[in-house]
Amino acid sequence: MDKKLLVLTGPTGVGKTALSLKMAEELGCPIISCDSRQMYKGIPIGTATPTPEEQARVKHYFVSFLDLQDNYSAGRYEHDCISLLSELFKQHNTLIMTGGSMLYMDAVCFGLDDLPQVPSALRQEVSEVFKNEGLEGLQERLKVLDPDYLETAADKENPRRLQHAIEISLTAGVPYSTLCKRTDKKRDFSVDIRCLLRPREELYERINKRVEQMFEQGLVEEARSVLPYRHCNSLNTVGYKELFAYFDGQMSLEEAKNLIKQNTRHYAKRQMTWFRSAAEKRAEVFNFSDC
């Protein structure tokens, strides 16, 4: 019987966790997480990592297995995940992958181009550009380094993707776009991608409520506990950056909370744009209002 990887993806807060748990229980299979932040230990609240109870219901892979100081990439995830799938498919005909990290999902489903390894110092340098100059600073550099990528990228407002393009362009000495063959790698399994979406206002309301729940669960205390690691890339994400600014006295706690809601909504908007673009060729879109 053919082996199939069922991918449940979509923007943050859409309801992927609940649906993946239900489907995995029905299929009797584990869940492969495809969330680049849930891979790190010590930050389960801010990353909405599946709870111990949820992980007891269904076996999860690639959850809370990295230290905050560890560097991990989509390329390493592709290698590690493909190796895991080859073993799991010996026991299951269908496996479920879920998460919203688009590059990681692409890496497993379609493969990545062979790109040079980016030095840590350069990655930090490019990260500082975004920190000091924002999205416009990244876009300005790409206008010089790789204008073709900036012109054609479907997610040109995604800072991480822009940083990646700059890093590769500087490391390779040629535009990132010239190294992207965009040819899918052959896999030993079929891929069924289902993109979950909700009406924007409904999604935003779910996000606002989830942020409130995170604060009730102890997000402030969690962020304070990882403050010594604030320089790590694992914490360069919504929720922690705003609370670190609060700890520094740059804003009130209420302002930090509102900014987390706002930045999470902006992130979800970028995800929806990317998913709708990708879904035109590779995914089936499902709109639902509750799960």
Q: 3-state SS of 252-264?
A: CHHHHHHHHHHHH
The per-residue pLDDT string of the chain (291 residues; one tens digit each, 9 = 90 and over) reads: 589 999 999 999 999 999 999 999 999 999 999 999 999 999 999 999 999 999 999 999 999 999 999 988 888 999 999 999 999 999 999 999 999 888 899 899 988 877 788 888 888 899 899 889 988 999 999 999 888 888 877 666 778 888 989 999 999 888 888 887 667 889 999 999 998 889 999 999 999 999 999 999 999 999 999 999 998 989 989 999 999 999 999 999 999 999 999 999 998 988 887 776 665 556 676 776 544
Question: What is the extent of the structural domain holding 280?
Answer: 4-113+186-199+272-287
pLDDT given for residue 38 in this prediction: 97
Number of domains within the chain: 3
pLDDT of residue 289: 55
- Give CA–CA dist 9/276, Å, rounded: 11
Provide the CATH number for the domain around residue 195. Answer: 3.40.50.300
Cα distances from 266 to residues 159, 203, 273, in angstroms, run: 12, 11, 11
88 lies in the same domain as 147 = no
8 and 151 housed in the same domain: no
CA-based nearest residue to 132, from 93, 90, 163, 171: 163
63 with 107, same domain: the answer is yes
Residues 48, 92: one domain?
A: yes
Phi, psi (degrees; rounded to nearest 5) at 239: 110, -50
77 and 170 inside one domain: no
Q: What pTM was estimated for this model as a whole?
A: 0.81
